[in-house]
Structure 1
Amino acid sequence: MLSWIDWVIIAAYCGGFLGLGIYFKSRSGKSLSEFFLAGKSLPWWLAGTSMAAAAFSADTPLYVTALTRDGGIAANWQWWSFAFCHAISVFLYARLWRRSGVMTENEFAEIRYSGKPAAFLRGFKAFLFAVPMNCILMGGLPTLGLAKVLEGTVGWSPWVCIGFACAVAFTYTLLSGFWGVVYGELIQFGLAIVGCTVLAVLAVQHAGGMEAMKAGAIAARGAETLNFVPEFGWTGSFIDSALAVFLMYIGIQWWSNKNANAGGVLVQRMAACRTEQHALGATLWFNVAHYAVRAWPWIVCAIASLALYPGLKDGQLAYPMLMRDLLPVGLRGLMIAAFLAAYMGTINSQLNWGASYLTNDLYKRFVNPEASDGRCLWVSRVLMGALLAISAGVTWLMVHQPNGLVKTFQLLITMQAGTGLVYLLRWYWWRISAWSEIAAVAGSVVVACTLYGLEQAGVVKLNFVMKMLTTVSITTILWLLAAYLLPGTDMKKLEEFFAKVRPSGPGWRAVAWRLGLRTEPGLGRDLADWGIGLGFVFGLTFGIGKLCFFEWGSGALMTGGGLAAGVLLLARSRPRPAGTILRVPEVVKKAAAL
């Protein structure tokens, strides 16, 4: 259990961040833009670190540890695969999001689409993502993760753990607004990385050193445990093999997910950046911090836990057990403070983001359009409390579920499967309509929940690959039918969107020609930069991973390759004009108008 020194460290952390919230209280209360977007003045390094901290919560070390114990290092492709969509966000979408000028992602609906379908889509997505999906995420992942850590290290009951965590996070978020969120996340990310790295070093030492640790993990789980990609052979059904899961991750999951073009908290931070270039730089730095930096201490701890606790059934408990058994006085308090930091980083972001949806896209848009900023700020704070209460209820339902973190993550992915392609194409193809998005969003939720209900009733039993394939296939058919059979977007609205955002590529050619304009082609260059960016991110990720396991030759080679890709990106980068507008011949304009 904790000593008085540990409690002093934890109390100092909580007091310090509440003080930070008080410091930013007056600044965040000036307007909705200040409260939700920090006045659109964030530099790239602060916005990018905030993105990474928002994705680093109390659940993620437990989730990655459980995932690695169950499937080896290669199982982390379940979340590594999202590097494809996060990297494409850097080069194809960061500038566009910043140009759109939106406060929330849902506001985009009425900039891109027209009429009542656009208004319905905005409100429907605001409620769906802010309440059920956001509360499942907050309650089933970070709050559940922190409750397990506190229960395992401090000995508190689950209710006390949940109440303590929610009270600290809510008070801080209520006071500070988005300014406090991003500056708090800067400190929280650094503290959490230091704490997790210290635990990884101690875990290796207690396992007998690096080579003894790896040997123990292989003895506990098998020779493939340390592989970065799964074995290409399989026994039994291919659809149940690790290779099939891997192919689904890199071939389907990343582009079918709702965050395929960024989305959510990433859009909020892009919109809060000073300029388009700062938005691009922030998203690129997020990719490096998220994939190459933060996770390797957890993976090392997972491998050490296989050597130290080979018979443990619930992999979620391995990380708290390492904290309890290995950390000395003082460091244990520092590590719990690090977990509080990681938890607060995510909860602060999700509460601020969720309240922005409900306030900007429901209350101010449909309930009280004439509401002042002061009234909206009051409403947003009330809504934060409601969201946190609902998420606490989700945590209570999940707290005794074995591997509940992994199950929650898979459920959220399945509920969003099939929407990503619409989100990718809506920027680059004029035919995507509000009905397309409605069909994709509603279809994915209905199909995923139907499959879940049938599975719980014992009617069907599908593995994760089959659930994804089924949901993506049905949802894609639904939104394609909606795009071609249901009413499209008004041409005037399409022309306004094109003039404001200036997307490149052939998908808007018909609209551009109606205006007598064409934009400088840049889609091919952006796609090439995406490929180089993937080399940069994956090279650093796997190179650093190899170095963490003392595989110096391959680690140096991969890291060098990643750095070379980064140098190439830097050489290709140049400030891009806000859209070079070129005139097309008048005859083309007249033909397009027919």
Structure 2
Amino acid sequence: MPFGTGRRLPWPLIGISIVAANISTEQMVGMAGQAAGAVGLAVSAWQLVGSVGIVIIAWTLWPRFLRAGIYTMPEFLEYRYNAAARVLMATLTVLIYALVMLPAVLYSGGVTLRTLTGLDLRTAVWTIGTIGALYTTLGGLRAIAWADLVQGLALLVGGLLVFGLGLHAVGGWTAFRAFHAEHLHMVLPDSHPELPWTGIVSGMWIVILYYCGLNQFIVQRNLAARSVADGQLGMILAGGLWLLVPFAIVMPGLIARQLYGTELGDQPDRAFPLLIRDLVPPGLRGFICAAVAGAVISTLASLLNSVATIATMDIYRRWLHPGASQPTLVWCGRLLTVLSMTVACAIAPVLEEPRFGGVFRFIQQFQGYIWPGVVAAFLFGLLVERAPASAGVTALVAGPLLYGLFQHFAPSLHFLIQVALAFSLVLALMSLLTLWRPLAQPRRLPERPDLDLRQSPAVTWAGWMVIAGVAWFFLAFW
């Protein structure tokens, strides 16, 4: 684990670090942009369903990973299936991070910097990318986590400040609610092209299970917890803080729609940066810009750290150089950091083209190639102990292929429905392989006998409070 911290992080640091890594300009630009466009308040479902999901994962899935003593998610697949499953997931993860996630963060950061300073988009992207690569290479995850403690709180405070200033600009809550009466609903009809309720109850749960429970980008913080309770409370704290996202990010997007109207045109991703530029006084604008910049660098650092860790530990050391020394692994990780950032900086400016439908949609839609197969492989492997190695490998190969077929031959079907269908078909394939050739003996994860996995009452009550908050929000804005 060349960029690790050891297991020493306390729960407040874990929770705020997850929030800072998750809520960056791809949310402040992309999610606010979708709110300003056709989706409205309903785009909040991504974070609110995530709040419920991360609580459930903290109660159930995460303790099992910690007990197994693993450092990366591909490592789990080797324990459960075989080495081929590990390298397949590692390769898929590195590709998605390098070709989708990193370019999206760089593009949204670049759009913000361009709106605020007038810099050319390409120059802004390369400036952010260079700083992010240096920060990751020199700092490591522990430095990233402690910086997140300040940046994460500043980002949420900054977003809430923009919301307050925006409400004042449009004449208060009553005027805001009257203007957006048709867009303040969490549940949209099944015919809605952007976010139908059928997608939320089906494919979105698969997405959340991957993102909160199987995604190295998020899980690396939980695996660095100093205790089981710290990891669980940190995840639940993140879920609680995500309840602020509708107010700090989504509603400001709606306010931008009210203030700027057609000025946004076919570039709704400009919504949040325009609010910062036009509504925030100069002194406070510097505070918010610093928070946004910190969030961009934090997210880039987390993604780059994940790419370097997975590529170094699960591909380079496992397959190419098993006897590599620790210094060699560190330098390999640094080289991969620079390479990944270079590729991402070259891709990012292309995302401005209208065909991508906004950065938030780009992120979600293209990650569909990894969600169905990976989630099926993990869930089936945990629940069906006699599933053979061939079932896991098949899931990781079939998932991207099936989703790609839906994307090509059924483009009118919402991508979350496509994710759910691909996931169901992968599970069917895994079931057939297990019935055909089940393992002679159940395959179980290794266990660390020194860990006490009993759940504390504080973890239980905190989790239920978060779930109750989500339920209230859905009912209030049904």
Decide: shared fold, TM above 0.5: yes
Q: 1:82 to 1:486 in 2, by over 3 A?
A: farther
SS in structure 2 at match of 1:273: coil
Does the CA contact (< 8 Å) of 1:68 and 1:299 recur in 2?
A: yes
How many corresponding residue pairs? Answer: 469
> Which residues of structure 1 form unaligned runs of 5+?
1-31, 504-519, 547-553, 556-594
1:408 partner amino acid: F
Per the alignment, residue 468 of structure 2 pairs with 539
| CA deviation profile, 1:452-473 (whole Å, cap 9, x unmatched) | 3457xxxx54333542344233
What is the match of residue 281 of structure 2? 328
CA contact (8 A) 1:418 1:472 kept: yes
Q: Which has the higher contact order (CA 8 A, sep 6+)?
A: 2
Render the CA deviation track for 1:500-559: whole Å, top value 9, x for unaligned. Answer: 5899xxxxxxxxxxxxxxxx9x9xx99xx98x776422433465899xxxxxxx79xxxx
- Indicate whether 1:449 and 2:376 are aligned: no
1:429 partner letter: V
Change (3 A) 1:84 1:61: same
Instruction: Report the equivalent of 2:33.
Output: 66
Q: CA deviation at 1:157?
A: 0.8
Deviations 1:65-105 (A, max 9, x none): 12223222123224433334322211002211111111211
Q: CA offsets per residue over residues 382-433 of structure 1, 9 Å max, x none?
A: 0111111122122122133363313213323422342324323423331234
8 Å contact kept, 2:85–2:393 = yes
Name the counterpart of 2:346: 393
1:124 corresponds in structure 2 to 88
Residue number in structure 1 paired with 2:161: 198
2:215 alignment partner in structure 1: 263
Question: Where does the alignment leave 5 or more consecutive residues of structure 2 unmatched?
Answer: none
C-alpha distance in structure 2 between counterparts of 1:487 and 1:259, whole Å: 29
1:348 is aligned, of 280, 301, 309, to 301
Is 1:304 aligned to residue 255 of structure 2? yes
Q: What corresponds to 1:560 in structure 2?
A: none
- Separation in structure 1 between the aligned mates of residue 329 and residue 199 of structure 2, nearest angstrom: 43
Q: CA deviation at 1:171?
A: 0.8
What is the alpha-carbon distance in structure 2 between the residues aligned to residue 184 and residue 304 of structure 1?
A: 30
User: Which aligned pairs between 1:241-320 and structure 2 lie closer than 5 A?
Assistant: 241=192, 245-255=196-206, 258-259=210-211, 261-289=213-241, 291-311=242-262, 312-313=264-265, 314-320=267-273
Rounded Cα–Cα distance in structure 1 between residues aligned with 2:147 and 2:106 = 18
Q: 1:107 aligns with which of 56, 75, 94?
A: 75
In the alignment, is the contact (CA less than 8 A) between 2:40 and 2:183 conserved in 1? Answer: yes
Alignment of 1:523-538 (within 5 A): 535-538=464-467
Secondary structure at 2:23's aligned position in 1?
coil
Higher Cα radius of gyration: 1
Does the 8 Å CA contact 2:86/2:314 hold for their aligned counterparts?
yes
Using the TM superposition, give the Cα deviation of residue 45 of structure 1 relative to its aligned residue in structure 2, in angstroms: 1.5
Q: Establish whether residue 57 from structure 1 lines up as the match of residue 24 from structure 2.
A: yes
Distance 1:285 1:298 in 2: 18
In the superposition, the TM-score normalised over structure 1's length comes to 0.72
Counterpart of 2:443? 494
Aligned to 1:75: 43
Q: TM-score, normalised by structure 2?
A: 0.89
Residue 177, structure 1, aligned to residue 106, structure 2: no
Q: Which amino acid aligns with 1:102?
A: I
Q: Distance in 2 between matches of 1:431 and 1:385?
A: 42
In the alignment, the residues of structure 2 paired with residue 437 and residue 79 of structure 1 have an alpha-carbon distance, to the nearest angstrom, of 29
**Structure 1 pair 50–261 and aligned structure 2 pair: CA distance change class (3 A):** same
Are the equivalent residues in 1 in contact too, given 2:51–2:243 (CA < 8 A)?
A: no
Alignment of 1:229 onto 2:158:
no
Higher mean displacement: 85-94 or 372-381:
85-94
Partner of 1:511: none
Counterpart Cα distance in 2 of 1:474 and 1:501: 37
**Contact 2:55/2:239 (CA < 8 Å) preserved in 1?**
yes
The Cα offsets for residues 87-133 of structure 1, whole Å up to 9 and x where unpaired, read as: 221100221111111121111123223xxxx1111112112101x20
Task: Name the SS of the counterpart of 1:106 in structure 2.
Answer: helix
Partner of 1:438: 393
Summarize the Cα distance change of 1:466–1:336 in structure 2 as closer, same or farther, 3 Å threshold.
same
Q: 3-state DSSP class of the match of 1:161?
A: helix
Q: Give, in angstroms, the shift of residue 487 of structure 1.
A: 6.0
RMSD: 3.0
C-alpha separation between the residues in 2 aligned to 1:95 and 1:201? 39
User: Which piece of structure 1 moves more, 267-276 or 173-182?
Assistant: 267-276
Counterpart CA distance in 2 for 1:75 and 1:54 is 19
CA distance in 2, matches of 1:342, 1:49: 12
Contact kept, 8 Å, 2:407 with 2:415, in 1: the verdict is no
**Would you say the 8 A contact 1:84–1:254 is kept in 2?**
no
